[in-house]
Amino acid sequence: MSSYLLENLGMLEGMLRGRRLSLFLDFDGTLAPIVARPELARLSYEMKELLRGLVSVYPVTVITGRSLSDIKERVAVEGVVYAANHGMEIWADGFTMVYDLGREVKGELKVLLRSLREITERYGGTLVENKGATISVHYRLLDPGKMDEFLSEIMKVVQPSVEKGLARITRGKKVVEVRPPVEWNKGRAVEWLLQRSPFVSTWPVYVGDDETDRDGFRAVKGRGTSVFVGGSEEEADFHLEDQDEVRVFLGWLKELRT
Ligand SMILES: [Mg+2]
């Protein structure tokens, strides 16, 4: 079970002293507050300044389910590495890595995209986001009374592809994600980056608030520090309550300069 981080900074400092750190930071719900419409999520001025400061001290990756173009534009801090699309698209000055899905899977996702759009057109407050390798079906503004009906329609469309082994489904906060059937996730992206400069032989600090961040927590277990945002969490070393506390913690890390 995780410890409340702000009351255990002394302990963490002891763990981090003498190590070269790298940071892996989720975006929505971690660096930026969750908002009703994902396209309105933005970094506060303070958080952006803080990121600028952190980048000058440590290698920093923003790791997210968002598409690469979306997250680059939203963060827009020079020197940040991006692991977008749950780590399937990694971008930094000097290198890019895009996971190759293969033709069959790509074709299947294209067909699903069309069918899912037909459904969301009939339900207000929902939308389909095409992220290339994955499709996100958002329903934050859907009438709660229509939730079950909506989700069962979505599942009905996606289930056959899942059974054929051509897609997977994951659930996040008010979002269903249709993903390719590959064993690639935020955790694998962290492992991939940790084998490369400038992350190699650093001590990763992973901060995230989502189901999908658990893969990240597992990837740094025993060789890094994991921080869950949103109350205590079994898979993480530490937890924070909200984005304000994330800001406090990141400010502390910046001053630590280990
Ligand atoms: Mg998140």
- What whole-number distance in Å separates Cα of residue 30 and Cα of residue 11? 22
Q: Tell me how far the alpha carbon of residue 25 lies from the centroid of ligand 1, in angstroms.
A: 9
**SS3 label, residue 8:** coil
- What whole-number distance in Å separates Cα of residue 139 and Cα of residue 146? 10
Q: Tell me how far the alpha carbon of residue 20 lies from the centroid of ligand 1, in angstroms.
A: 25
Measured in whole angstroms, how far is the alpha carbon of residue 107 from the centre of its chain?
25
Q: Tell me how far the alpha carbon of residue 28 lies from the centroid of ligand 1, in angstroms.
A: 4
Q: If you average pLDDT over residues 191-219, what whole number do you get?
A: 95
Q: If you average pLDDT over residues 70-76, what whole number do you get?
A: 95
Residue 6 structure tokens: 């702000």
- What whole-number distance in Å separates Cα of residue 19 and Cα of residue 204? 10
- What whole-number distance in Å separates Cα of residue 153 and Cα of residue 155? 5
Q: Tell me how far the alpha carbon of residue 213 lies from the centroid of ligand 1, in angstroms.
A: 7
- Tell me the CA distances in angstroms from 120 to 137, 158, 198, 244, one per residue in order: 8, 14, 42, 34
Among the listed residues 197, 239, 191, the one whose alpha carbon sits nearest the alpha carbon of residue 83: 191
**SS3 label, residue 221:** coil
Among the listed residues 216, 224, 225, the one whose alpha carbon sits nearest the alpha carbon of residue 192: 216
Residue ranges covered by each domain of the chain: 3-99+184-256, 103-179
In DSSP notation, 136-197 reads EEE-TTS-GGGHHHHHHHHHHHHHHHHHTTS-EEEEETTEEEEE-S-S--HHHHHHHHHTST
Confidence at residue 131, expressed as pLDDT on a 0 to 100 scale: 85
Confidence at residue 38, expressed as pLDDT on a 0 to 100 scale: 81
Confidence at residue 222, expressed as pLDDT on a 0 to 100 scale: 95
- What whole-number distance in Å separates Cα of residue 150 and Cα of residue 224? 40
Confidence of residue 144 (pLDDT cuts 50, 70, 90): very high
Q: If you average pLDDT over residues 144-162, what whole number do you get?
A: 97
Confidence at residue 98, expressed as pLDDT on a 0 to 100 scale: 84
Work out the mean pLDDT of the chain and round it to a whole number.
94
Q: Tell me how far the alpha carbon of residue 256 lies from the centroid of ligand 1, in angstroms.
A: 25
- What whole-number distance in Å separates Cα of residue 94 and Cα of residue 246? 29
Q: Tell me how far the alpha carbon of residue 239 lies from the centroid of ligand 1, in angstroms.
A: 14
Confidence at residue 142, expressed as pLDDT on a 0 to 100 scale: 96
Confidence at residue 138, expressed as pLDDT on a 0 to 100 scale: 94
Confidence at residue 239, expressed as pLDDT on a 0 to 100 scale: 98
* pLDDT exceeds 80 at position 94: no
Q: If you average pLDDT over residues 174-181, what whole number do you get?
A: 92
Q: Tell me how far the alpha carbon of residue 254 lies from the centroid of ligand 1, in angstroms.
A: 22
Q: Which CATH superfamily is domain 3-99+184-256 in?
A: HAD superfamily/HAD-like (3.40.50.1000)
Confidence at residue 163, expressed as pLDDT on a 0 to 100 scale: 96
Catalytic residue annotation: 26
Q: Quick: pLDDT tens for 8-67.
A: 999 999 999 999 999 999 999 999 998 888 888 999 999 999 999 999 999 999 999 999
Q: Tell me how far the alpha carbon of residue 63 lies from the centroid of ligand 1, in angstroms.
A: 9
Q: Tell me how far the alpha carbon of residue 148 lies from the centroid of ligand 1, in angstroms.
A: 23
Q: What is the CATH number of domain 103-179?
A: 3.30.70.1020
Measured in whole angstroms, how far is the alpha carbon of residue 191 from the centre of its chain?
15
Sequence-distant (≥ 6) Cβ neighbours of residue 67 within 8 angstroms: 84, 85, 89, 129, 131, 132
Confidence of residue 258 (pLDDT cuts 50, 70, 90): low
Residue 240 structure tokens: 């924070």
Sequence-distant (≥ 6) Cβ neighbours of residue 155 within 8 angstroms: 169
